[in-house]
Amino acid sequence: MATAIPAGSHPAAQHHYSSTGLDNIKIAIWAFIGSECFFFGSLISTYLVYKGRSVVGPFPHTAWTNPATGQTLHAILNIPVTSVSTFVLLMSSLAMVLAHGAVVRGDRKYSRIWLLATALLGATFLGFQCYEFTSFVHEGLTIKTNLFGSSFFILTGFHGAHVTAGVIWLLTLFFVDMKRGLQPRDAVNVDICALYWHFVDVVWIAIFTLVYLIK
């Protein structure tokens, strides 16, 4: 990591003309986000299409009695816990904008604090998700149980994977900051990470409503 993220101050940069005055990487990340709309759109569609079509329980919002064993499995989603984790993710977005702002100002202290805070909040969210997944498994819902199990775990799991990638990205930025300090000219590198991070948050906003709250 010695070379660290090359900054825009490259002498070569002067040879590169840009048609719009925008950063290439920022255009690319927005294109990527546009593309991700379809990725999550497909996953969400699948979840909604399969809603109420599982042959066996457990179900998200209603209890289910296994006709074979007589055992009753209660509605599986845990709204209070997920509300908290949703709030955590929202707050991580706030930390993210503050981190970006600090980098832009050249404020080394706060850039580190907020970058780390964002990553930790993200990790907290992941912790909640781990807790949620394990408790679901204990209650008898796995990816193999029914259509709900498959579509739920894979949708939220892919979201979780995005959060994980984001946390790793944030930590990388944090370590670069520790090592050589992020300068204002690095702002674009933080900016694209932030865009990604907020997008992941936005996806969760949709998931929280569509999966957890709508019965």
Partner 1 sequence: MATTVAVPSHAEAHEAAPGGIWGWLTTVDHKRIGQLYLYSALFLFLVGGVEALLIRIQLWHPNGTFVTAQTYNELFTMHGTTMIFMVIMPLSAAFFNYLIPLQIGARDVAFPRLNAFSYWVFIMGALFMNAGWFIHAAPDGGWFGYAPLTTRPFSPTLHIDFWVIGLQILGVSSLAAAFNFLTTIINMRAPGMHFMRMPIFTWMAFITQFLLALAFPIITVAVTFLMLDRFFGTQFYEIAAGADPLLWQHLFWLFGHPEVYILILPAFGLVSEVLPIFSRKPLFGYPVMVYSGILIAFLGYGVWAHHMFAVGMGPIADSIFGITTMLIAIPTGVKIFNWLGTMWGGTLRFSTACLFAIGLVALFTIGGLSGVMHSSPPSDLAQTDSYFIVAHFHYVLFGGSMMGLFAGLYFFYPKITGRLMSETLGKWHFWLTFIGMNLTFFPMHFAGLEGMPRRIYRYDANQGWDIWNNLSTWGAFILAVSVIIFVVNFLWSRRRGAIAGNDPWGGATLEWTIPSPPPDYNFATIPTVTSRYPLWDARSPRLTSDVPHTAAGEQAVEVDVAGKHVGDTRFPADTERNAPSVPLTAAQLGIHMPSPTIKPFTTALGLTVMFIGLIHHKSLPIMFLGVAIFLVSLYSWVLSPVEPEH
Partner 2 sequence: MTADHTHAATADDAAAEIKAHEYAHTHPTWKTYRWVALILTLITVGEVWVYYVPAITNSPYFVPLLLVLSAAKFAIVVLFYMHLKYDSKVFRALFTGPLVVAITVVISLLFLFGQLAIRLHGS
65 DSSP 8-state letter: E
81 Cβ contact list (under 8 Å, min separation 6): 128, 131, 132
Select from partner 1, partner 2, none the partner in contact with residue 93, using the beta carbon and a kind-dependent cut-off of 5 to 8 Å: partner 2
Select from partner 1, partner 2, none the partner in contact with residue 98, using the beta carbon and a kind-dependent cut-off of 5 to 8 Å: partner 2
Tell me if 62 contacts partner 2 by CB under 8 A: no
Taking a C-beta distance cutoff of 8 angstroms, is the pair 88, 128 a contact? yes
Choose among 51, 135, 50, 37: nearest CA to 85. Answer: 135
Amino acid in position 151 = S
Tell me if 43 contacts partner 1 by CB under 8 A: yes
- Give the shortest CB-68-to-partner 2 separation in angstroms: 28
Alpha helices in 71-146 (DSSP H): 79-105, 108-138
Residue in this structure with the two tokens 């969400």, named with its chain if needed: 44
Tell me if 24 contacts partner 2 by CB under 8 A: yes
Site map for partner 2, 72-101, x if CB under 8 A?
Answer: -------xx--x--xx--xx-xx-xxx--x
Select from partner 2, partner 1, none the partner in contact with residue 75, using the beta carbon and a kind-dependent cut-off of 5 to 8 Å: none
Select from partner 2, partner 1, none the partner in contact with residue 138, using the beta carbon and a kind-dependent cut-off of 5 to 8 Å: none
d(CA 146, CA 47): 12
Beta bridge partners of 65: 72
Q: Which two tokens stand for residue 158?
A: 């892919």
Select from partner 2, partner 1, none the partner in contact with residue 106, using the beta carbon and a kind-dependent cut-off of 5 to 8 Å: partner 2
Residues that bind partner 1 (CB under 8 A): 1, 3-6, 10-12, 15-22, 24-25, 27-28, 31-32, 34-36, 38-39, 41-43, 46, 49-50, 53-55, 143-147, 149-151, 153-154
